[in-house]
């Protein structure tokens, strides 16, 4: 099993590859200016990376008086990476090339029957099938990244003790070990919010320096990035943002240890189902989603109310973290445009320096595939470590 980090052995080569990867195409002269390397050193590195198939020449740029410069880009077919999302409502496996293009995918709805044994068995079988039908040898697979619900122990590759899975057995699950044995490739584990933000960062044509990702689903997960690197805390505080108190002496949390008046008691799948039932409607989240597709007035109103509460939480995060851009993702955020629109409007009203500080808001480029694609990108990032 070849470590991803060993595929590019020399530090200077890793740095040049990283520079090219951050740009669609780049000319040699630009690389000279960006890298600070001597022309002879850069020429040697470009030749080696091209011969190994990591880079490809893609024509010529505009002339500035001399010969037209050769343009370089990452070769997307040099290798592939798997990305796996493990969440409470669904899980998703994707196979991507090195440009994050999805070439295969499978989705599982996380019912009472989807235990860890069942899911990991099906993930391994699906991954092998994706490779077989495309004729991709195992040697061309960098590895598999996992973006999962926490809390996690990434170093040991364990999903520890997550809440709200419908099936039993989701405690101390050695996902890294199990999938490495089944697939024979390196496996890397991280929080799903971190994976999603990583994917969104690399999908963006213009990369912001300070990013905040907020995933709204069964709970509320967040991730922060600065300078292209995830900001990690002392521990994996899964769902901690959802415990932000937005109303003193508000609704009791569904868990005994949870905060009263917490954000996720007003904005989450569980909260929406509770409010939907209070309107005398049945069918839970699935029925609510159907009603929103039909532009049901009561359903849209309910979602706008949740958006107002979400905006309060977002304003608190903006006033503390000051990101340049905020990306909203997850099942609730993707239900209907009314949620995003109302949440943004509510958030901007609560920003203290709103006349001079204008954060950008987005629903992201990757949609529901953000965590899975981002998990694959976690693997690709190992090339330049």
Higher pLDDT, 68 or 114: 114
Alpha carbons 230 and 200: distance in angstroms, whole number? 12
**Of 243, 306, 245, which is closest to residue 273 (Cα–Cα)?**
306
Predicted local distance difference test score (pLDDT) of residue 65? 62
**Of 372, 374, 375, which is closest to residue 107 (Cα–Cα)?**
372
Q: Is the pLDDT of residue 84 over 80?
A: yes
Tell me the residue ranges of DSSP E strands in 169-280: 187-191, 210-216, 220-226, 229-230
> Residue 64 — pLDDT band, cuts 50, 70, 90?
low
Name the percent of the chain lying above pLDDT 70: 98
Alpha carbons 220 and 251: distance in angstroms, whole number? 16
Domains of the chain, CATH where assigned:
4-74 (1.10.10.10), 80-197+370-384 (3.30.420.40), 207-364 (3.30.420.40)
> Residue 237 — pLDDT band, cuts 50, 70, 90?
confident
Predicted local distance difference test score (pLDDT) of residue 247? 93
Q: Is the pLDDT of residue 24 over 90?
A: no
120-131 pLDDT tens trace: 999 999 999 999
Predicted local distance difference test score (pLDDT) of residue 277? 95
**Residue 107 in contact with residue 92, Cβ under 8 Å?**
yes
Overall average pLDDT of the 61-89 stretch? 87
Q: Is the pLDDT of residue 66 over 80?
A: no
> Residue 63 — pLDDT band, cuts 50, 70, 90?
low
Tell me the residue ranges of DSSP E strands in 140-235: 141-148, 152-153, 158-159, 187-191, 210-216, 220-226, 229-230
Name the percent of the chain lying above pLDDT 90: 87
230 in helix, strand or coil?
A: strand
59 in helix, strand or coil?
A: strand
Task: Please count the residues of the chain.
Answer: 385
Predicted local distance difference test score (pLDDT) of residue 239? 81
CB atoms within 10 A of CB 77: 15
> Residue 233 — pLDDT band, cuts 50, 70, 90?
confident
Phi and psi torsions of 142, nearest 5°: -65, -40
131-175 pLDDT tens trace: 999 999 999 999 999 999 989 999 999 999 998 999 999 999 999
Mean of all residue pLDDT scores within the chain: 94
Alpha carbons 213 and 230: distance in angstroms, whole number? 11
């Amino acid at each position: 099993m070849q470590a991803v980090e060993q595929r590019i052995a020399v530090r200077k080569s890793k740095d040049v590859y990283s520079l090219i990867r951050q740009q669609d195409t780049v000319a040699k002269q630009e690389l000279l200016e960006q890298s600070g390397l001597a022309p002879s050193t850069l020429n040697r590195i470009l030749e080696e990376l091209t011969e190994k198939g990591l880079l490809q020449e893609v024509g010529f740029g505009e002339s500035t008086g001399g010969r037209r410069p050769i343009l370089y880009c990452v070769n997307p077919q040099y290798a592939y990476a798997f990305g796996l999302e493990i969440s409470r409502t669904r899980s998703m496996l994707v196979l991507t090339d090195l440009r994050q293009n999805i070439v295969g995918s499978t989705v599982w709805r996380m019912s009472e029957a989807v235990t860890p044994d069942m899911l990991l068995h099906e993930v391994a079988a699906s991954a092998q099938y994706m490779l077989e039908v495309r004729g991709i040898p195992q040697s061309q697979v960098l590895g598999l990244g996992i973006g999962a619900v926490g809390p996690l122990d990434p170093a040991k590759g364990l999903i520890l003790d997550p809440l709200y899975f419908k099936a039993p057995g989701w405690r101390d699950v050695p996902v890294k070990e199990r999938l490495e044995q089944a697939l024979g490739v390196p496996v890397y584990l991280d929080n799903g919010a971190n994976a999603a933000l990583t994917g969104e960062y690399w999908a963006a044509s213009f990369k912001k320096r300070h990013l905040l990702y907020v995933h709204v689903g069964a709970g509320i997960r967040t991730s922060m990035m600065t300078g292209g690197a995830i900001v990690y805390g002392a521990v994996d505080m899964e769902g901690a943002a959802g415990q932000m108190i937005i109303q003193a002496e508000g609704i009791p949390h569904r868990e005994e240890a949870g905060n009263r008046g917490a954000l996720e008691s007003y904005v989450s799948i569980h909260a929406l189902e509770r409010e939907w039932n209070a309107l005398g409607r049945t069918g839970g989240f699935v029925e609510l989603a159907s009603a929103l597709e039909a532009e049901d007035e009561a359903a849209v109103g309910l979602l706008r109310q949740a958006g107002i509460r979400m905006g309060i939480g977002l304003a608190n995060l903006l006033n503390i973290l000051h990101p340049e851009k905020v990306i909203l993702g997850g099942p609730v955020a993707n239900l209907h445009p009314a949620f995003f629109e109302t949440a943004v409007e509510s958030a901007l009203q609560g920003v203290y320096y709103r006349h001079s500080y204008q954060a950008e808001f987005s629903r992201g480029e990757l949609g529901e595939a953000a965590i899975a694609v981002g998990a694959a990108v976690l693997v690709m990032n190992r090339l330049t470590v």
